[in-house]
Structure formats: C-alpha cells, structure tokens
Structure 1
Amino acid sequence: MELPSDAKALYENWLQLDPGSKAKIRRATQPDDLMDIPAFYLLVAPFGWPQQRYALLRMVFCLSAGKIRPSEDKQQSIGRVFADKGISQPRIFQVIRADYPNDMVQLRRLIIHAEPEVYWPGFAQQLYGWYKSDRRKLLEDFVITTAHKTSRKDAK
C-alpha cells in the first residue's frame, strides 16, 4: 500500500460499503476482530492484504468509528484536532503508552468522542507504521496546539 493516494482510495471504498457491511465492521471491539468479518477482506483486498495486514487493521479500525471526516488542510493532524476538541492530556497519554490492541481501542474511543475533521492521508500515514515516532507526533501536535490555545486565551 502506497500512501497518500491509497489512503484516499481506502477512505472512498469505506464510504462505498453498504450499511450492513459497515455495521458489521463497526461492531469489532478490537482490530483483530476485523479478521472474522468477510466485508473487511472485501474492503482491504485491493490495498495489499495480507502484506500490509497490521497497517490496514489499524486504519480500518479507526475508520470504522464512523466519525472521521476528511479535511484538505494538511495541518489538520489528529493530535491538533484532539486538542481543539478539548480532549484531556491524560487520555492522550493513555493512547500513546498503551500496548496493542489497547492503544487502538483507546484511539478509536477518542475518535468517536471528538468526531474529527482530519487530513486523512496524514492520519493514515501515522497509522501505517504506528511507531514510537508516530505516537510522539500525536502527542507533539496535541501539546503544541493546547499550549498555543492557552497562550491565545492569556493574550485576550
């Protein structure tokens, strides 16, 4: 799977799924649960399954929250959106410190709560590897945005 164009195609394929298939995928409580759902394989087959297995599991699990709206603003990172939506810092720490699959479960809960408008190819790139650096980027964007918001309030 090459990003970001494939990320956009994955998002479009998600939108094209019938409501019943989306509902089955949405019921997954952990990323690995997706592998028991036939509609999941139909969704990810064109994007490098099984070579990109873990990346696709993470991306579809987050997409299945059903709350992500795409933004064309490349600065709209998930960390920035969480800060703008008032997500607390301890909840962000929960995500970045948790091990798989709890990290994805916590991230999905935040997505459901925040209903983010995010630059999907950028977020998909983070989920693609979900390395320590990707988690740090989420924290960095969150903290910098929070600090920037606080300094703007203090200036008023």
Structure 2
Amino acid sequence: MALYRAWEQLDNGARAQLRRVSEPDELKDIPVFYRLVSSFGWDNPVNQKPLLRMVFCLTAGRNAVCHKEKEAEEKYGISVGKALANSQQRINERRVFQLLRSEWPADMVQLRRLLAHAEPILYWPDFANQLIWWSPKERRQLLEDFVIASPQKKNQ
C-alpha cells in the first residue's frame, strides 16, 4: 500500500515522465523512478523486478488503477481479474488469455494495456502481491477470477 500512496504523492510532471515508457525496463532510464522505489528496497536485487512490475502497472494511465478498501465482511478485496471483468469497458476473454501466454516484457505490456482500457477499481495490496510473484499460478488466478466474475453468455 505504501508504494501506491507514494505514487499518489508524485506530482503530475513526475507521473507523466513515468507514463511515457512503453516497456518496464525503460523505467530504469528515468531518475524519478529511483526516487520512487528507493525506500522500498530497490537496492536488493530480489525486489527489483517486482518493483518494476508494480510501477509499470501504476503508470498505465492517469487513473488507470484505483484502490478500493475491502468491506469489513469481505475476506478478500476486489482482485484484478474481477475488476477487469466488472469494468465499464468490455474486456475480451481472449485478451486475458493472451496475457496468460505472454512472456516478459510482453506480459506486462499486455497487462498495462488492459489496465489502461478498463481503469479497474481493485484492492491494491492483493494486486501488488500478485505482481511480486507473477508466476503462471498468479496469471491463472487472474484468468480464473476474470472468467468467474464475467457475465455468463446466453448460449453457455
């Protein structure tokens, strides 16, 4: 949650610099990126790829990723898969499946495009945790949450 809050505290110019990148590794060429991630353990190589993934997703658009606290009676918050399925914009299941099959960095580029298109409202700590690991298991969970939360088609 702290990274999300730090992202919100950046001024518009700094956010715009970070949004201009087209791939996660391009973030490493922008000084404000290091100012943003330095207090989150960037100096530890184990943290670098997860931080790249998280910041790259945060840069999807002006308000592309919005955090919503979970309700008191909820065990889990809104997952990214559920948020994509419930967005006002229609996300095609094939696009989510394509994300599942993509490799680095194309997977992050695809995810960022989905986030920019859908502008999901989700529970940031769960999404950040998913991005920390970002293994086939997390990708399958995204697809599962998306399909289960999607409205059923009439012919199925």
Same fold (TM over 0.5): yes
| Residue correspondences, number | 144
CA apart distance, 1:50: 3.1
Q: Who is 2:131 aligned against?
A: 127
Q: Who is 1:3 aligned against?
A: none
Question: Residue deviations 1:132-155, cap 9 Å, x none?
Answer: 111011011011112xx328x79x
2:60 is the counterpart of 1:59: no
CA apart distance, 1:65: 1.2
Question: Residue deviations 1:52-100, cap 9 Å, x none?
Answer: 0000000000001131110112331110111112311100011111000
TM-score by length of 2: 0.88
**How far, CA to CA, are the matches of 1:37 and 1:58 in structure 2?**
15
Q: Who is 1:5 aligned against?
A: none
Secondary structure of 1:150's counterpart equals coil
Q: Who is 1:4 aligned against?
A: none
Over the matched positions of the two proteins, sequence identity in percent amounts to: 51
Q: Who is 1:139 aligned against?
A: 143
2:78 is the counterpart of 1:76: yes
TM-score by length of 1: 0.88
- The structure in which a higher percent of residues are helix is 1
Question: Residue deviations 1:85-128, cap 9 Å, x none?
Answer: 23111000111110000000010000000001000000000000
**How far, CA to CA, are the matches of 2:120 and 2:22 in structure 1?**
20
CA apart distance, 1:18: 1.4
**How far, CA to CA, are the matches of 2:149 and 2:11 in structure 1?**
37
Superposition RMSD in Å: 1.5
**Runs (5+) with no aligned partner, structure 1:** 1-7
